[in-house]
């Protein structure tokens, strides 16, 4: 069997690595996309000090789950005012990085409607204009810094778009765990569980291969061990670094497989029930583990390397892990009755991500 693993992102990791922005942006004009708390936390000033006059444009009002209603004006203003900058730097969680991925894809007209129409086709396209992206995550979760995917939400029409082009791979990822020291406990847990979900979804995936599995297994082991400790010791540089590395490994794994059923279910739970992404894509992990088990010998072997060979014990371990972090694991806990849960799972299996699930044909 021949396998291929492809990830073109130039990845820098370590405390203090944000400093590398200086060397990476020499002689360029850059725009910064960041989260609203960044200024109060001193992050905007720090980047302004590093970049000086190179920093020509700033978007600092990115809200969780970038929505078309807000993105429209931000996108059109960016292409009107900052069309000359060469590089966009995203410093934030998945919401800031995904916003930046949408901004760098320039339409001919500069109109956001043109981009949405292209996204609605679900097919790849070559943008009329684009910019380089440097992604510096401030949460240990989405792995968006090493993937080409971005999720664009449309809460008004209860839809989500998936942006994925050759040009949406970040050119550089800077993973500096010091940026994560200020993430509150609740967000630390939900983003850490997003990473756990990425790793598991990379394993129970029709696109899995031994290389993505290697990243995924290492990520799962790290997260199971490290996240409960980090939740009780949020200021620990060592634990922040370990979780940052675990989220990076999970990102590497699913950068080549995409996600699967748990994420497909999550989109409905976020749109209909308002769950944060990390909770929405992790509370079903014990359930999805049960649906994956026994469908494919290679997948079983990988899952059993992590969880042993007893499914009931494996599911109980995952459930207890989630409960210990304060996360409930049943649809009913989120006010979803059994008929609606069944409909959500059925719909999720039909979605693009659901079709990546190893047990899709039998579930």
Q: Which residues bind ligand NAD (CB under 6 A)?
A: 35-37, 64-65, 92-96, 98, 138-139, 141-144, 147, 149-151, 179-180, 182-183, 187, 191, 194, 277-278
Closer residue to ligand NAD (CB): 257 or 315: 257
Task: Check: CB of residue 319 under 8 Å from CB of residue 329.
Answer: yes
State the minimum distance, in angstroms, from the CB of residue 311 to ligand NAD: 27
Q: Among 130-138, 177-185, 273-281, 301-309, which window interacts with Fe ion (CB under 5 A)? A: 273-281
Residues 6+ apart with CB under 8 A from 80: 110
Q: How far apart are CA 40 and CA 38, in angstroms?
A: 6
Closer residue to ligand NAD (CB): 54 or 240: 240
Q: How far apart are CA 317 and CA 216, in angstroms?
A: 18
Q: How far apart are CA 9 and CA 169, in angstroms?
A: 7
DSSP assigned state of 133: E
Task: Check: CB of residue 257 under 8 Å from CB of residue 250.
Answer: no
Instruction: Kindly identify the residues of this chain, within the stretch 180-219, that bind Fe ion according to CB under 5 A.
Output: 194
Three-class DSSP labels, 142-192: CCHHHCCEEEEEEHHHCEEEEEECHHHCCCEEEECHHHHCCCCHHHHHHHH
State the minimum distance, in angstroms, from the CB of residue 175 to Fe ion: 17
State the minimum distance, in angstroms, from the CB of residue 277 to Fe ion: 6
Q: Which value, to the nearest 10 degrees, does the dihedral of the CA atoms of residues 122, 211, 279, 265 take?
A: 40
Closer residue to ligand NAD (CB): 158 or 301: 158
268 binds, options ligand NAD, Fe ion, none, Cβ within 5 to 8 A by partner type: none
State the minimum distance, in angstroms, from the CB of residue 59 to ligand NAD: 13
Closer residue to ligand NAD (CB): 57 or 149: 149
**Site for Fe ion contains 268 (CB under 5 A):** no
Closer residue to ligand NAD (CB): 9 or 314: 9
278 binds, options ligand NAD, Fe ion, none, Cβ within 5 to 8 A by partner type: ligand NAD
Closer residue to ligand NAD (CB): 116 or 314: 116
Q: How many residues does the chain have?
A: 363
The CB-nearest residue to Fe ion is 194
* Contacts within 8 Å (CB) and 24+ apart, 38-47: 38/91, 38/92, 38/138, 41/182, 43/91, 43/138, 43/179, 46/18, 47/18, 47/21, 47/89, 47/91
Q: How far apart are CA 332 and CA 24, in angstroms?
A: 49
132 binds, options ligand NAD, Fe ion, none, Cβ within 5 to 8 A by partner type: none
Closer residue to Fe ion (CB): 253 or 281: 281
State the minimum distance, in angstroms, from the CB of residue 226 to ligand NAD: 17
Instruction: Kindly identify the residues of this chain, within the stretch 278-297, that bind Fe ion according to CB under 5 A.
Output: 281
106 binds, options ligand NAD, Fe ion, none, Cβ within 5 to 8 A by partner type: none
State the minimum distance, in angstroms, from the CB of residue 209 to ligand NAD: 19
138 binds, options ligand NAD, Fe ion, none, Cβ within 5 to 8 A by partner type: ligand NAD
φ/ψ of 69, rounded to 5, equals -60, -35
| Closest to 249 in 3D by CA, of 305, 288, 282, 200 | 200
Chain residues in the site for Fe ion (CB under 5 A): 194, 281
């Amino acid at each position: 069997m021949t396998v291929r693993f492809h990830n073109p992102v130039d990845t820098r990791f370590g405390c203090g690595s944000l400093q590398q922005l200086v060397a990476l942006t020499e002689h360029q004009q850059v725009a910064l996309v960041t989260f609203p708390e960044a200024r109060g936390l001193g992050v905007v000033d720090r980047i302004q000090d590093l970049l000086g006059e190179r920093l020509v444009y700033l978007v600092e009002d990115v809200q969780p789950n970038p929505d078309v209603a807000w993105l429209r004006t931000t996108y059109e203003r960016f292409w009107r005012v900052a069309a000359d900058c060469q590089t966009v730097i995203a410093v934030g969680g998945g919401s800031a990085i995904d916003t930046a991925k949408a901004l760098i894809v320039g339409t001919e007209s500069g109109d956001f409607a043109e981009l949405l129409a292209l996204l609605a086709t679900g097919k790849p396209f070559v943008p009329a204009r684009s910019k380089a992206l440097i992604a510096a995550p401030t949460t240990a979760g989405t792995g968006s810094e090493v993937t080409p995917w971005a999720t664009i939400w449309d809460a008004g029409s209860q839809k989500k778009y998936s942006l994925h082009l050759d040009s949406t791979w970040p050119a550089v990822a800077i993973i500096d765990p010091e940026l994560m020291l200020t993430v509150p406990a609740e967000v630390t847990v939900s983003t850490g569980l997003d990473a756990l979900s990425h790793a598991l979804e990379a394993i129970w995936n029709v696109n899995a291969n031994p290389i993505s599995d290697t990243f995924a297994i290492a990520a799962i082991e790290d997260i199971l061990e490290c996240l409960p400790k980090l939740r009780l010791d949020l200021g620990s540089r060592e634990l922040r670094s370990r979780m940052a590395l675990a989220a990076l490994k999970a990102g590497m794994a699913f950068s080549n497989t995409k996600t699967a059923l748990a994420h497909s279910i999550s989109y409905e739970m976020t749109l209909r029930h308002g769950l944060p992404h990390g909770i929405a894509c992790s509370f079903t992990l014990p359930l999805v583990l049960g649906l994956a088990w026994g469908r494919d010998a290679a997948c079983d072997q990988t899952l059993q390397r992590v969880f042993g060979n007893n499914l009931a014990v494996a599911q109980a371990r995952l459930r207890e892990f989630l409960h210990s972090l304060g996360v409930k694991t049943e649809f009913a806990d989120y006010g979803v009755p059994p008929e609606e849960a069944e409909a959500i799972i059925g719909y999720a299996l039909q979605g693009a991500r659901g079709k990546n699930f190893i047990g899709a044909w039998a579930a």
